[in-house]
Amino acid sequence: MESPWYRVNSFEHYKQLYSQSVENPDKFWGDVAESFRWRKKWDSVCEWDFNQANISWFKNGKLNITENCLDRHLSENGDKVALIWEPNDPKEKYIQWTYRELHNRVCRFANVLKENGCKKGDVVAIYMPMIPELTVAVLACARIGAVHSVVFAGFSAHALADRINDAQAKMVLTSDGLYRGLKEIPVKRVVDEALLICSSVSKVVVVQRTSWAVKMKPGRDVWLHEELDKVDSDCPAEPMDSEDMLFILYTSGSTGKPKGIVHTCGGYMVYADFSFRNVFQYDENDIYWCTADIGWVTGHTYIVYGPLLSGATTVMFEGVPTYPDPGRFWQICDKYGVNQFYTAPTAIRALMAQGDEHVLSYSLDSLKVIGTVGEPINEEAWYWYHVHVGKERCPVVDTWWQTETGGIMISALGDHGPHKPTYAGYPLPGIQPVLLDGEGNEFSDSDKEGYLAIKHPWPSMLRTTYGDHQRCINTYFSHYNGYYFTGDGAKRDENGMFRIIGRVDDVINVSGHRFGTAEIEDAINRNPQVAESAVVGYPHDIKGQGIYAYVIVRDRIDDDEVLRAEIVETVVEEIGKIAKPDKIQLVSGLPKTRSGKIMRRILRKVAEGDTTNLGDTSTLLDPKIVDEITEGAI
Ligand code: WTA
C-alpha cells in the first residue's frame, strides 16, 4: 500500500500543500477525496454559510465509510492485522483480527442490528467498555447507516439517560460488566437503571465480557453471542449521502446540558484519514496505539476511523496506565513493537509522578512518533515524555483539536517541521486558524494572547448540535461574525507557531475531559441540602485542572465532612466519578454583583490560592463575603 500524494514528506512539502489548500480549498480537498471509494461522485466540494452554520462537503456524493475502512483493503491487505486488543489483565490472552476478520465481524454485528429492528437513520447508543466489540459495534452502525452515539462507560445512569433521551436512541449496545485496573463495574446494571427513564429504547444488545449474572428483560434484552449465531456475514454497506449523519457525540459547553455534536459521513471520512496519516506519519507495517477511550472523540477518530481508513494496525487497550504497575503502557509498547504512541498529558504526569524506573526498564526502541492530546502540556511533562519515552529521538506531536473539529487541527506532522515544548505548532493543510481580539479583529502580533477562531470550513467540522441548530449557531458562529469560535485562547510566536493557553469560557478541562461549570453546579444543586453553588477550575498537578466547588447549604443537618461526602455522591450519581469535585468549600454566600452575577474571577483566584490581588470588589452586593471566602479557602 503506497502512501497517497497528500501524505506530507518534508517541511517544504507541508508548506507547499498548505498554500495550495488555502489558495484553492475546493481543488485541494476534491483531489484528496478522489482517493476514497465513492458510490457516486459529489456535485460540489464545499458549500458554506457560517452565519447560519450551514456547511456541506462533497454534496450529493454517496459512500459508506466502512467500505473505505474495510472492504477497500481486502484485496491487497485482507490478511494484515487491523486491530490488536490488549486486555486489562496482562495474563489474559490478547486478540488480533485481520482486516478480513474485522470485516466479517462488522457485517455479522450489522446483521444482528438489522434483525433486531435497527435501520438507517436510527440512533444507537453504545455504552461499552474498551473491548474489541466496541470497535465492531461502531462500524456495524456505520455499515447500515445507523447513527452511533457512544457514551463513555464511566458516565452515570443519569448522564446516560440524558444522552439517550436527547437523541431518542432506539437501541442500546452494552456489555455485562467491565474490568479497569482493579475495578469491576456492572455496566448492564447502569443501563437498566438509565432505561427506567428512557422510553425510546426498544432493544438492548449485550456483549458478554465478564460472564457475571445479569438480568435480561424479556423482549428487550438479547445476548450478542446468541444473536450472532442466527445471522450470516453478508451485509452490503448502505449507500450514505456525504451529509447523512455518521455519529453524535455529546460534549460539555459553558451553558446548559451537554450537546450532541453531529458529524457526517463524507467530510469526516476524508479528514480522519488525511490527518491520521500526516500527523503520525504512519508507514505500511507500523503498529499504532492511541490510549484514549472510544467514548471520547479521540477514540472515534484516532482508534477507529483514521487508522482503519488508512489501512493501519491499531491497538486498543482495555485497562489503565497504572495496572498492574506504572510500567504498563511501556510494556505494551515493547510487546507489540508500537511505532506511534498517542496519549494525554494527564497520563504522562501521573506516570512521571511514579518515578522513572518504570519507564527505564523498557526499551521503547520501536517508537517513532509520540503524541499528546486533550489539554495543554506543561514543559516538565513535555521534557519527561521527550527524554524518557521518546529517548530524544522521537518527535512529540502536540495535537490541538476538539470534539467539534472531528480531527487534529494544529500539530507538527511527525518530524516534519519545528518542535517546541508547549507549542502545538502549525495548522494542518486546509486549516485556517486566526487570533481575534475582544472586538473580533484578526491580529498577527507575536506573543499576544487572543481568541482562537477558524475562518474557513474544513471537511470534518461539526454540522449541527443534535436537535437544536440554533444552539450550534449561538455557541460557535455568533461570537465573531464569519468565524468558527473554538472557546480557546492562544498566542503565536514570532515564527507563527501556535501555543494553546486553554479555555476562555466556563469550561474546565479535568484530565483532558471537558465539563461545563454550570453542568457540575446543576449536579451539586440536586442535593437537597444545597441552596446554591459555584464551580471553578484550579491548577492541579496531575489532572491539569481540578474542580473547586463553593457551596451554600440550606439547613445544616450533617457535619461538614458528611455533607461534603454527600455532595460528592450527588455529582457521581448525576454525572459520574470523573466529575467529582476535588475541593468543596462550604460558604454562607457567593460574591455577586448587584445584578446577581457571580464574580467568578474572585472565586478562581481564591481556588488558585492567590488572594493577594482580588481586584475591585466594590461593585459587589456584599463585599464582606470575600473575606469569609478567602479565610475559609482550602
Ligand atoms: C483542549 C479533545 C491544548 C482545548 C480532542 C480544546 C488542548 C478541548 C489540546 C477540546 C492541546 C485539546 N493543547 N489544549 N493539544 N487538545 N485541548 O472536545 O481546550 O474533548 O478546546 O477534544 O481540549 O476537548 P475535546
Q: Residue 518: give its domain's CATH number.
A: 3.30.300.30
Q: What's the CA-to-centroid distance between 592 and ligand 1, angstroms? A: 30
Residue 257, domain member (yes or no):
no
Q: Mark which of 204, 238, 272 sits at the end of a domain.
A: 238
**What is d(CA 144, CA 153) in angstroms, rounded to the nearest whole number?**
24
The DSSP call for residue 405 is G
Pairs from 186-189 (Cβ < 8 Å, separation ≥ 24): 186/212, 186/214, 187/127, 187/128, 187/129, 187/153, 188/214, 188/215, 189/214
Grid cell, residue 351, equals 506516570
Give the contacts of 447 (CB within 8 A, at least 6 positions apart). Answer: 491, 492, 493, 494
- Regarding the beta carbon of 488 and ligand 1, being less than 6 Å apart is answered yes
Average pLDDT over residues 234-262: 95
Residue 258, domain member (yes or no):
no
The overall average pLDDT reported for the chain is 96
Answer yes or no: is pLDDT of 130 > 90. Answer: yes
What strand order describes the sheet that includes 433-436? Answer: 442-443, 433-436, 450-454, 484-492, 498-503
Query: Is residue 490 domain-shared with residue 543, that is, in the same domain?
Result: no
Query: Is residue 351 domain-shared with residue 492, that is, in the same domain?
Result: yes
Average pLDDT over residues 526-551: 96
Q: What's the CA-to-centroid distance between 617 and ligand 1, angstroms? A: 33
pLDDT number for residue 1: 64
pLDDT number for residue 467: 97
- Look up the CATH number of the domain holding residue 148: 3.40.50.980
At 546-557, the pLDDT tens digits run 999 999 998 777
- Regarding the beta carbon of 374 and ligand 1, being less than 6 Å apart is answered yes
Q: Which atom, in ligand 1's list, is nearest to the CA of 403?
A: 18
Q: What's the CA-to-centroid distance between 314 and ligand 1, angstroms? A: 22
3 state SS of 572: helix
**What is d(CA 427, CA 275) in angstroms, rounded to the nearest whole number?**
11
3 state SS of 341: strand
| Helices 132-144, 99-115: crossing angle, 10 deg rounding | 60
**Residue 122: which region, alpha, beta or left (left: phi > 0; alpha: psi -120 to 50)?**
beta
Number of domains in the chain: 3
pLDDT number for residue 612: 84
Q: Whose CA is nearest to atom 3 of ligand 1?
A: 376
Prior bond of 459 cis (ω within 30°): no
- Regarding the beta carbon of 329 and ligand 1, being less than 6 Å apart is answered no
Query: Is residue 563 domain-shared with residue 471, that is, in the same domain?
Result: no
**What is d(CA 268, CA 282) in angstroms, rounded to the nearest whole number?**
19
Residues 517/254, Cβ–Cβ less than 8 Å = yes
Question: Which residues pair with residue 57 across a beta bridge?
Answer: 46
Looking up cell 454525572 gives: 575
**What is d(CA 446, CA 459) in angstroms, rounded to the nearest whole number?**
29
Residues 281/256, Cβ–Cβ less than 8 Å = no
**What is d(CA 164, CA 173) in angstroms, rounded to the nearest whole number?**
12
Query: Is residue 100 domain-shared with residue 144, that is, in the same domain?
Result: yes
Q: What's the CA-to-centroid distance between 365 and ligand 1, angstroms? A: 29
Residues 153/139, Cβ–Cβ less than 8 Å = no
- Regarding the beta carbon of 298 and ligand 1, being less than 6 Å apart is answered yes
Q: What's the CA-to-centroid distance between 501 and ligand 1, angstroms? A: 10
Q: Mark which of 238, 272, 298 sits at the end of a domain.
A: 238
> Nearest-CA neighbor of 425 among 409, 437, 447?
409
Query: Is residue 125 domain-shared with residue 194, that is, in the same domain?
Result: yes
At 485-525, the pLDDT tens digits run 999 999 999 999 999 999 999 999 999 999 999 999 999 99
Looking up cell 507547499 gives: 16
Give the contacts of 390 (CB within 8 A, at least 6 positions apart). Answer: 367, 370, 396
Query: Is residue 329 domain-shared with residue 471, that is, in the same domain?
Result: yes
Average pLDDT over residues 563-575: 96
Helix (H) or strand (E) holding 270: helix 265-280
- Regarding the beta carbon of 505 and ligand 1, being less than 6 Å apart is answered no
For the chain, give percent helix, strand, coil, nearest 5.
35, 25, 40
- Regarding the beta carbon of 373 and ligand 1, being less than 6 Å apart is answered yes
Give 25's pLDDT tier (boundaries 50, 70, 90): very high
pLDDT number for residue 2: 76
Residue 243, domain member (yes or no):
no
Q: How far is CA 216 from CA 100, 169, 190, 206, 225, in A?
A: 32, 19, 13, 9, 14
Residues 401/500, Cβ–Cβ less than 8 Å = no
Question: Which residues pair with residue 413 across a beta bridge?
Answer: 416
Query: Is residue 545 domain-shared with residue 473, that is, in the same domain?
Result: no
Grid cell, residue 254, equals 459553558
Print the domain residue range for 488: 11-64+264-499
pLDDT number for residue 617: 83
Q: In sequence order, which ranges of 385-515 are alpha helices (DSSP H)?
A: 469-472
Question: Which residues pair with residue 451 across a beta bridge?
Answer: 436, 489
- Regarding the beta carbon of 252 and ligand 1, being less than 6 Å apart is answered no
Share of the chain above pLDDT 70, in %: 100
Query: Is residue 542 domain-shared with residue 495, that is, in the same domain?
Result: no
Grid cell, residue 582, equals 476535588
At 140-185, the pLDDT tens digits run 999 999 999 999 999 999 999 999 999 999 999 999 999 999 999 9
Residue 589, domain member (yes or no):
yes
At 175-207, the pLDDT tens digits run 999 999 999 999 999 999 999 999 999 999 999
Average pLDDT over residues 403-423: 97
- Regarding the beta carbon of 402 and ligand 1, being less than 6 Å apart is answered yes
Dihedral through CA 533, CA 535, CA 538, CA 541, nearest 10? Answer: 100
> Nearest-CA neighbor of 77 among 1, 188, 177?
1
Query: Is residue 423 domain-shared with residue 286, that is, in the same domain?
Result: yes
Predicted model pTM: 0.97
What are the backbone angles phi and psi of residue 619, rounded to the nearest 5°?
Answer: -85, 0
- Regarding the beta carbon of 400 and ligand 1, being less than 6 Å apart is answered yes
Query: Is residue 207 domain-shared with residue 312, that is, in the same domain?
Result: no
Query: Is residue 485 domain-shared with residue 548, that is, in the same domain?
Result: no
Q: What's the CA-to-centroid distance between 442 and ligand 1, angstroms? A: 22
Grid cell, residue 439, equals 472586538
Q: What's the CA-to-centroid distance between 337 and ligand 1, angstroms? A: 28
Q: What's the CA-to-centroid distance between 375 and ligand 1, angstroms? A: 5
- Regarding the beta carbon of 403 and ligand 1, being less than 6 Å apart is answered yes
- Regarding the beta carbon of 376 and ligand 1, being less than 6 Å apart is answered yes
pLDDT number for residue 453: 98
Residue 70, domain member (yes or no):
no
Task: Among 461, 488, 498, 511, name the best residue to mutate to test ligand 1's pocket (greatest count of ligand atoms within 8 A of Cβ).
Answer: 488
Looking up cell 490472552 gives: 93
Grid cell, residue 401, equals 483539536
Query: Is residue 451 domain-shared with residue 360, that is, in the same domain?
Result: yes
**What is d(CA 379, CA 372) in angstroms, rounded to the nearest whole number?**
13
Q: In sequence order, which ranges of 154-186 are alpha helices (DSSP H)?
A: 157-167
Q: Which atom, in ligand 1's list, is nearest to the CA of 513?
A: 20
Grid cell, residue 98, equals 485481520
- Look up the CATH number of the domain holding residue 58: 3.40.50.12780
At 324-352, the pLDDT tens digits run 999 999 999 999 999 999 999 999 999 99
Residue 504, domain member (yes or no):
no
Residue 252, domain member (yes or no):
no
Share of the chain above pLDDT 90, in %: 94
Answer yes or no: is pLDDT of 558 > 80. Answer: no
Q: Mark which of 499, 530, 546 sits at the end of a domain.
A: 499
Residue 88, domain member (yes or no):
no
Helix (H) or strand (E) holding 538: strand 530-540
